[in-house]
Chains A and B, each alone.
Chain A
C-alpha cells in the first residue's frame, strides 16, 4: 500500500499540429482512463468527503436544545447576504481539558502496542504458511479467513466467556494447578490487547503471507552459498524483503485500532481510556454533537498526518533507488 504509484503514462509530447490517427487514438484512451478513475473518485467524494464536510461543519457551531441539536453555520439574511457563525471554540475546548489529549495518547499507545504484538504473533504464522507445502497452503489460508464467517461482535463476546473470573481460561489454569486464585483479566487493559490482537490478526497475516509467498527463495540459497547461516539470512534477506508486507499489515492493524470502540467497551475496564469511548460519551451522554465532531476531525488528522508523511518518505526513497 505504501509503494510509489505506478509510473505515470508517458506524457504525450506536444506534437506538430498534424493530427495523426495515432494522436486521436491516444486521446480516446486518455478519456477512457479518466472515466475509469472517475468512478472511485466519485465514490470517495460521495461517501468520504461529503460526510467529512458535514462533520466539519457541525464541529464549528454551537450545541442547542433543538432538532437537530446544533446551531446553523450559515444563515441567509436579507438582500442576498449570508451570515457565517462558525468558531473554533470546540477545538479550544479539547485543548483545555486533559481528558481528550489523554484519550488520544492512550489510544495511540494501545494501538501501537497491539500492532507490535500482532506483528510478533502474525509474522511466524504468515512465514509458516508461506513455507508450508503448496498443497497445505489453501487450507491454512482458509483457517485464517474462517473466523470472518462469524460476526465480529460475537467473537468479542466469546472472549468475555473465556477471560472472566469463572471463565474457561481461569478454569483451565486452576485445574492444571498453575494458579490458585482466578486471574482478573476481563475489564483490564490486558483484555483489550488480547481482543485487538485476536480481532486484527488476519489483517496482519494476509498481507505478510502474500508478500512472503512471492519471495524468491533462490536469494536464500545464494546467501547460504556465501556462507550465511539461516538465522542471519532470515534477518538480512527475508525481513528486509518483506518490509512492504510488514508496513501494510501494521497500517491495517494500527489505523482501525486507534479508533476502536467495541473492544474497549466490552473487554476493557472503566479505566481503559480510548478516544472511541470518549467520543461516544461526548455524543450520547453530553449530547454535544459539535464537540464530538471536533473530536472526530482531530482523530482523522491524528491518523492522516503520519500516513501522509510516511507515504512521502517512501516515495522519496523509492525515487532515490530508481
Chain B
C-alpha cells in the first residue's frame, strides 16, 4: 500500500476507461459499473492478464443514479454494485439474472455471517455476491470536539441527535449524509423504535429527532465530508465507515494536526451491504461470471479491502488482510458490537414517498 493511494489520479482512470472503451466491440469484454473510489485498479489489470477479458470500468456515486439507469434498461453493463436494500427492489423489478453457481466455485470462500444477512435482500443469495459491507456511524475531529466538550459522549448518537450536545459543535461544522433511508432508521433506533419500521406513524416520530438536529447541520451531502473532515473544515459527520477512515488516513498523511476517528455508536448502527449482480440484459454474462468468481478469490478480495478500508463478505480472505484492517473494530466490529448492528429492508413505494417528503422537510424546512 502506498501512501498516496487515495490520490490515484482520476485522469488515469479515465484514460484507462477510454483505452478499454475501444475494445468494446470485441468478444472478450466485461463492462463493470461500480462506486467511485471503490477498487484497487491493479485488480482489474490482473484480471485482464489472467483471463484475457478486458474490463471496461465505469463509476457512479449514488444508488439512485444506478437504479434509474437499471430500470430504464439497456445499460450495457455486465456487473453492477447496488446496496442491499436497493438490490432487493431491483430483483423484484426483474433487473437481474440468477447467478449460475456452477460457474462460481469461489462461492465456497464466502462468510456465512454476512451471507445470512444478505439473504434478507436476496433470498438464497441467488442473484448477487457480497463485495463490501460497512456501517453508518459518526466521524469526528478529536481535537475540536474535546476542546468544546471534554466529556463529549463520542460513542453515542447523542453527539448528533441530542440538541444539548450537538449545539456545542455547530460552530466547527457538521455534515450529515444526504441519505434518508439511512438517517431515518438511525433516528428511530435512537428513540427506541424499530429502525426498519414501515409504519408511517412510526416513521413520523423520526421527524422530531431530525428537526432538532437540523439547525446545527451545515450541509447534507454524501461525499464532501471526506475531504472536509480530513482538512479540519468540519468537526463532526454522519458518514460511512470506510469513507471516514479514508478521511482519517488523509489527515494522517497531511500531518495537519487533525485526528479523525470513526465510531459505530453504542446504541447500534446501520449495517449495509454492497452486492455485485448481473443485469438481465447484460451483453456478456459469461464474462461477468468470470469476473465475479475472480473477485471472490481470497487474495483478490483481501487486496480490495486493504485498499478501500471496508470489510468484505469473504471468510477466506481474512488471513490476507493487513492488521490495520482486520484488527480495526471500526472495520471488522467485535462479535459483541456486531450484535448491536441492524439492517433495513426497502420501503414500499407509498412509504418511500413519506420518507422522501420527511427528508425534504428536514433539509429545506418546507
Contacts and interface: CB of A to CB of B under 8 A. Distances in A.
Given A270-B219, A284-B68, A69 B356 contact: no
A93 B349 CA distance: 15
Contact of B218 (A64, A65, A187): A187
B349 A63 contact: yes
B71 A287 contact: yes
A319 interface: no
A72 B353 CA distance: 21
A68 B352 contact: no
Contacts of A270: 217, 219-220, 363-364
A66 B93 contact: yes
A67 B68 contact: no
A65 B366 contact: no
B364 A65 contact: no
Given A271-B364, A285-B180, A287-B68, A69 B353 contact: no
A99 B352 contact: no
Nearest to A280: B64
Contacts of B62: 284
B360 A281 contact: yes
Given A187-B218, A288-B353, A69 B364 contact: no
SS of B interface (majority): helix
Q: Which residue of A269, A278, A285, A288 has the most chain B CB atoms within 10 A of its CB atom?
A: A285
Contacts of B353: 286, 288
Interface string A73-113: 00000000000000000000000011100100000000000
A198 interface: no
A283 interface: yes
A66 B68 contact: no
A66 B364 contact: no
A269 B94 CA distance: 37
A285 B83 CA distance: 14
A140 B159 CA distance: 55
Contacts of A275: none
Contact of B365 (A64, A65, A97, A271): A271
B72 interface: yes
Given A187-B219, A288-B353, A69 B363 contact: no
B67 interface: yes
Contacts of B132: none
B92 A284 contact: no
A287 B218 contact: no
A273 interface: yes
B366 A99 contact: yes
B92 A65 contact: yes
A99 B68 contact: no
A66 B233 CA distance: 43
A23 to B, nearest CB: 54
Contact of A288 (B65, B220, B349, B363): B349
Interface in B64-89: 64-65, 67-68, 70-73, 89
A210 B59 CA distance: 44
Interface string A138-177: 0000000000000000000000000001100000000000
Given A270-B219, A271-B365, A278-B360, 14 more contacts: A65-B92, A66-B71, A66-B93, A67-B73, A67-B280, A68-B71, A187-B218, A187-B219, A270-B363, A271-B364, A281-B356, A284-B62, A284-B68, A285-B356
